[in-house]
Amino acid sequence: MLAIDKFRDCLANARRNRETDKVRILSTFIGEVDRLVTDRNAPPPDDLVIKTLSKQIAGFKETANVLADMGEKVRLHDLEMAISILSPMLEAIQPKQMTEDEIKVEMANFVANHLGAKVGQIMTHMKQNFAGLYDGRKASEFAKQLGA
């Protein structure tokens, strides 16, 4: 099931249960994702959903900190509610990240099968096959150690 479908199912359940705050929060998020989709004939890719949700939660947290400093309790409560609804959903849809050892093994296998592979080729392989599943900075360091 696509990530956006999980949100749409959750929205349908919230509507059935008359959870108005949850309906408002999920409707807004789904609308934002739909607005960002470039291909209207295809569902939004999971990486777009995850990236959008991560940015939205980070923005909510930053705004909540400012509102807390200002003493804006009502608006702060709304943001905290949105964070409490969306954060567990983000955790549920995020793919498991590769460990450093898994990154090293995958890169070593690629280099073994592609003798003389350069850093750019190693990183392209990782992006094409494992996008969003690894720490890019660490992967780059490992690729520099292995690449020609």
pLDDT tens readout for residues 79-96: 999 999 999 999 888 888
Distance, in Å, from the CA atom of 16 to the CA atom of 18, rounded to the nearest integer, reads: 5
- What does the pLDDT look like over 8-24, one tens digit per residue? 999 999 999 999 999 99
The whole-number pLDDT of residue 148 equals: 55
The whole-number pLDDT of residue 147 equals: 67
Ranges under pLDDT 50 in the chain = none
The whole-number pLDDT of residue 45 equals: 87
The whole-number pLDDT of residue 62 equals: 95
CB atoms closer than 10 angstroms to residue 122: 24
Decide if 52 contacts 31 (C-beta within 8 A).
no
At residue 47, what is the residue type? D
Pick from 101, 146, 102: which is nearest to 122 by CA?
Answer: 146
Distance, in Å, from the CA atom of 23 to the CA atom of 19, rounded to the nearest integer, reads: 6
Pick from 17, 59, 19, 36: which is nearest to 4 by CA?
Answer: 36
Distance, in Å, from the CA atom of 97 to the CA atom of 79, rounded to the nearest integer, reads: 28
Distances (CA, A) of 119 to 49, 100, 114, 136: 29, 17, 12, 13
The whole-number pLDDT of residue 133 equals: 84
Judged by DSSP in three states, 87 sits in helix
Pick from 73, 29, 79: which is nearest to 51 by CA?
Answer: 29
The whole-number pLDDT of residue 20 equals: 95
